[in-house]
Amino acid sequence: MFRTHSCGELSVAHLNQKVTLAGWVQTIRKFGAITFVDLRDRYGITQLVIGDEINNHLDNNPLGREFVIQAFGFVRERSNKNKNIPTGDIEVNLESYIVLNSAAVPPFTIQDDTDGGDDLRMKYRYLDLRRSCIKNNLLLRYAVTRSVRNFLHEQQFIDIETPFLIKSTPEGARDFVVPSRMNPHEFYALPQSPQTFKQLLMVSGYDRYYQIVKCFRDEDLRSDRQPEFTQIDCEMSFVQQEDILDTFERLVKCVFKEVINIDLKEPFERMSWEDAMWYYGNDKPDTRFAMPITNLKVPTWIFKNKQTLIPKTCVLENGFPVFDQAETILAITIPNASEYSRKQLDELTEWVKRPQIGMNGMAYIKYQKDGNCKSSFDKFYNADNIMGIASACSAKPDDLILILVGKEEKTRKAMSELRLDINARMGNRKKNEYKVLWILDFPLFEYSEDENRWIAKHHPFTAPHPHDIDTMLNNKPAIDNPHEYLKHPYCNLKANAYDMVLNGNEIGGGSIRIHKKELQEKMFESLGISEDEQKKQFGFLLNAFEYGAPPHGGIAFGLDRLCALLGGSESIRDFIAFPKNNAGRDTMLNSPDFLEVKQLSELNIELKK
């Protein structure tokens, strides 16, 4: 060992002890004949004091930032204590030192508020990882996985590794593939998730499985998506939805408590998918603040499910073409904002007109303090009409109502974004506030206009709600008339699925799975997968269901995202040791890269010209 103690552990309990430390030179401060060096390692920082003799030597052999040294000396009490660090009561009076390695001047400062830009930090990721903010992120990540493993162990889950070189399946996202040299012209695929394997493990009787595992998706990367990402992947047998919700609600509470000392005491809110879409415009609402969306015109999609309440008040058709012709009219109410200036409103209007949002404009109603309303469409409606709208929006005097208009899906999305943006501006998206909820009752299928067929909303292994199984089995999936797809009974099928949402981010999702062969075959058929294709792609699973498959279900959490949110960040990249950029490149390694011709040849592949 190059050290007797770490740089984070010495205190007055060690006074006068001879110690050896090893670490990196963080700072060097020279005061005449005395030099102070802050020595850093993973565990902390200790101040070294260099007196006369060595100081002279230092003049000729200067230490630099990030030099790695071994320091020998005695612990003594500081006259000027630093209460901000655990070792702040002491310092080490240096007797001698050895330079273990020198260091060139780093391309950016190794500090939380570094002067390095993203590209530079990625290229020199090994230096970026020295910054204590990033180090703390990776330590938090480790604390999360440790907490998860301990919790799941207590619940009798066992960690079982599933293979990485598996089979490509055309359903779902694009696979990364791996040419097989030993089986010419054949390819493995990297798993998008261990879904079918964990189901097989349930068929095998393992009862409770988990794995913290890398998954791969060859998608066009949006910012903050990675081609490889990590899942906390879990599956349980002999359970119903309620058992899964209970188990994993406790898991998440345990992680919050152990890792960031937050008590999530209340049971997690539960919201149907319909309600989430209705009131928040998306299926992962940020519920740290309310500000629900009011639908001012009955949107088409509510016909899909008869149980959804139709809003009490709608905008009257009154000769205002923007409203009259709109498929959807959505409003949110901003409290105490009736005095927004023209400029503020223009800014918001510009914001919703950006290409990313894509609205044509924004209408508003100012419900003034004096109880009167002023709107951007006063000439089309009388005061009562407008007050009616304001009241439909549950507005009070001094509130501002913002209204977006357009195609249903786009407008819902725009309103959801506007709601988030405004609340961010209002300071309502607080880093240290956590609101977790379950989204339930997803539709089982989505309709694909392009292909005139059903697509699994979750994935093809998700079971329908128990009361919907018969409807699924007893109806043909074919959609005879694409214009009337909404009348197809499959539109009303609900999935036995659940998502966990934290502060507007989906952090986990899962479902009760199909465990009967007939139902799984019906599901594949519903998705337009021919019998031949079913056998070829999923024959192993259908076979497995013939030999005694238990009822089972599971969930997977996105570890990268969960860690980022626990760390108070929206960016996953700084919670991954070696992330890739938006082009899927590792700029430090310069990867991917071209292969040697010999390698391609051995793999029996060629580059397409």
Residues 170-199 binding a copy of itself (CB under 8 A) are: 170, 174-183, 185-190, 197
Map residue 332 onto helix, strand or coil.
strand
Cα–Cα nearest to 472, from 434, 524, 425:
524
* Burial class for 560, CB neighbours closer than 10 Å (0-12, 13-18, 19+): buried
Distances (CA, A) of 340 to 52, 329, 389, 401: 66, 22, 19, 11
Compute, in degrees rounded to 10, the torsion defined by CA atoms 378, 384, 390, 392.
-130
Residues 6+ apart with CB under 8 A from 127: 106, 107, 108, 110, 121
The strand ranges marked E within 249-293 are 269-272
Residues 6+ apart with CB under 8 A from 592: 584, 585
User: Which one, 1 or 309, has the nearer CB to a copy of itself?
Assistant: 1
User: Which one, 218 or 258, has the nearer CB to a copy of itself?
Assistant: 218
| Cα 147 to the center of its chain, rounded Å | 19
What is the contact mask toward a copy of itself in residues 488 to 517, using x (rule: CB under 8 A)?
Answer: ---------------------------xx-
Residue 304 carries which DSSP code?
G
Looking at 134-142, 357-365, 470-478, 525-533, which segment touches a copy of itself (CB under 8 A)?
134-142
Contact call for residues 103 and 68 (beta carbons, < 8 A)? yes
Please pick, from the candidates 133, 138, 262, 426, the single residue that binds a copy of itself as defined by CB under 8 A. 138
Q: In the window 220-279, what residues touch a copy of itself (CB under 8 A)?
A: 220-221, 227-228, 230, 237-240, 243
Q: In the window 524-543, what residues touch a copy of itself (CB under 8 A)?
A: 536, 539-540, 543
User: Which one, 477 or 550, has the nearer CB to a copy of itself?
Assistant: 550
User: Which one, 397 or 528, has the nearer CB to a copy of itself?
Assistant: 528
User: Which one, 40 or 561, has the nearer CB to a copy of itself?
Assistant: 40
Please pick, from the candidates 62, 267, 489, 548, the single residue that binds a copy of itself as defined by CB under 8 A. 548
Distances (CA, A) of 177 to 128, 267, 541, 568: 31, 42, 21, 35
What is the contact mask toward a copy of itself in residues 76 to 115, using x (rule: CB under 8 A)?
Answer: ------------------------xxxxx-x---------
Distances (CA, A) of 386 to 349, 364, 469, 500: 20, 10, 46, 38
In the complex, the smallest distance separating the C-beta of residue 459 from a copy of itself, rounded to whole angstroms, is: 17
Q: In the window 19-38, what residues touch a copy of itself (CB under 8 A)?
A: 22-24
User: Which one, 235 or 274, has the nearer CB to a copy of itself?
Assistant: 235
Cis peptide before 592 (omega within 30 of 0): yes
What is the contact mask toward a copy of itself in residues 57 to 76, using x (rule: CB under 8 A)?
Answer: ---------xxx-x------
Please pick, from the candidates 46, 162, 411, 423, the single residue that binds a copy of itself as defined by CB under 8 A. 162
User: Which one, 221 or 262, has the nearer CB to a copy of itself?
Assistant: 221
Q: What is the Cα–Cα distance from 98 to 41, expressed in whole angstroms?
A: 16
Please pick, from the candidates 121, 130, 419, 435, the single residue that binds a copy of itself as defined by CB under 8 A. 130
Q: Is 606 in the site for a copy of itself (CB under 8 A)?
A: yes
In the complex, the smallest distance separating the C-beta of residue 414 from a copy of itself, rounded to whole angstroms, is: 29
* Burial class for 591, CB neighbours closer than 10 Å (0-12, 13-18, 19+): exposed
In the complex, the smallest distance separating the C-beta of residue 272 from a copy of itself, rounded to whole angstroms, is: 24
Q: In the window 409-438, what residues touch a copy of itself (CB under 8 A)?
A: none
The strand ranges marked E within 368-504 are 373-375, 399-406, 436-440, 445-448, 453-456, 497-502
Residue 442 carries which DSSP code?
-
Q: Is 41 in the site for a copy of itself (CB under 8 A)?
A: yes
Looking at 202-210, 290-298, 473-481, 523-531, which segment touches a copy of itself (CB under 8 A)?
202-210
User: Which one, 41 or 91, has the nearer CB to a copy of itself?
Assistant: 41
Looking at 200-208, 348-356, 370-378, 395-403, which segment touches a copy of itself (CB under 8 A)?
200-208
Residues 6+ apart with CB under 8 A from 594: none
